[in-house]
Structure 1
Amino acid sequence: MKKLFKVALVAVGMLFAGNFANAQTKIGHINFNKLIDMMPETKTIQTTMEAYQKTFIDQLTTMNNELTTKGNDFQKNQATMTDAVRSAKGTEIQDIQKRMQDYQNDARQKVEQKQQELTKPLIDKATTAISAVAKEKGYAYVLDSSQVSLLVSPDADDLLAAVKLKLGLK
């Protein structure tokens, strides 16, 4: 009987401890990508990035045209070329291909850096607003529902509406 009482006491204690822990930890969620897409700065960043990428695309197009022209010329006149000229032209074409590949890799890195540079203030602004709303509403954790698949989530814990209001978005 004494043992049964101790087990019951421990079970009741665990039940209260579980309810106490639940009462203190609120978890919310927000679709971070959706929030970023709603912000007006996103459109400006996209326009800027498209213009920035176009400069690299134009240069690559010019290089590709040069490669095509020299490649066609090489194939057309290959039979009449001396070995030295054929070797020089082949090396020139390989050099253009290598320059294109290097330029493409460099362009990709520069575009990624520019993207990060432009989006960092936007991400910081959104993160600050989410933190402020979470603090105001008493949330200990806020999950990014665009990265995590939430199988069950009550509507009341979605912070998107509150953060939109905080940022002044419609």
Structure 2
Amino acid sequence: MKTTQKLTLALAAAAFLLIGTGSANAQKFGYLNSQELLSSMPETDSVQTQVADLGKELESQFKAMQAEMTTKAQDLQSNLSTLSETVRKQKEKDLFDLQTRLEEFQQSAQQEIQTKQMTLLKPVMEKAQAAITKVAKEQGLTAVFDLAAGGIAYYNESQMVNMLPLVKQSLGIQ
């Protein structure tokens, strides 16, 4: 009987030690919404303004090309009966070429806007990441989940640290 009591006591002590060790090494996790963080950073406003300005410039050029095409199409339509076949074919070819240039311009303009946005956002994103890393280390967190990326399906908010206010404070954002 004494060996059973000793065994039970030893198992209880081991369980207590394991539970105690587990809670001493409890991992802390944090979460934030990176999109909310980026949109609250003042640098993002500057990026959006520069991208919008580029978009307006490219849209203006595109509209000028469209107006040229409309003018040429109307000219062809109104003079169709008086044009020789050779001149008509050349004007139709010019219209087709202009349409192709418009499509190519539109595609390259979209690509240019995306590239400019990514180039301008890169330092802002790096600054945000540095602040997230700094605050996570200060808080002793094991991991931080980004809710904007949809990286987790469930989280118990009461057992996690919302990093957004802390990172905003670190960046000096109200």
Q: How far is 1:79 from its partner?
A: 2.6
The reply to whether residue 74 of structure 1 matches residue 76 of structure 2 is yes
Q: 1:104 to 1:140 in 2, by over 3 A?
A: same
RMSD over aligned CA atoms reads 2.3
Q: For 1:1-55, what per-residue CA distance to the aligned partner results, in whole angstroms no more than 9, with x for missing partners?
A: xxxx9xxx7xx87xx48x7289443221100000011111111111111111111
Q: Hey, what does 1:64 align to over in structure 2?
A: 66
Which structure: larger Rg? 2
Normalised to the residue count of structure 1, the TM-score between the two structures is: 0.84
The reply to whether residue 165 of structure 1 matches residue 165 of structure 2 is no
Moved over 4 A (4+): none
Partners of 2:104 and 2:172 in 1: how far apart? 44
Q: How far is 1:114 from its partner?
A: 0.8
Q: Tell me which amino acid in the other structure corresponds to 2:161.
A: D
SS of equivalent residue, structure 2 residue 144: strand
1:79-98 alignment to 2 at 5 Å? 79-98=81-100
- Aligned with 2:131 (options 129, 132, 136): 129
Q: Tell me which amino acid in the other structure corresponds to 2:146.
A: D
Q: Tell me which amino acid in the other structure corresponds to 1:161.
A: P
Unaligned runs of 5+ in 1: none
Q: How far is 1:131 from its partner?
A: 0.5
Q: For 1:79-123, what per-residue CA distance to the aligned partner results, in whole angstroms no more than 9, with x for missing partners?
A: 322221111011000111111111111111211111111101100
- Aligned with 1:53 (options 43, 52, 55): 55
Q: Hey, what does 1:110 align to over in structure 2?
A: 112
Partners of 1:57 and 1:22 in 2: how far apart? 60
Partners of 2:111 and 2:26 in 1: how far apart? 45
Q: Tell me which amino acid in the other structure corresponds to 2:100.
A: K
Normalised to the residue count of structure 2, the TM-score between the two structures is: 0.82
Q: 1:98 to 1:138 in 2, by over 3 A?
A: same
Q: 1:57 to 1:39 in 2, by over 3 A?
A: same
Quote the sequence identity (%).
33
Partners of 1:79 and 1:22 in 2: how far apart? 91
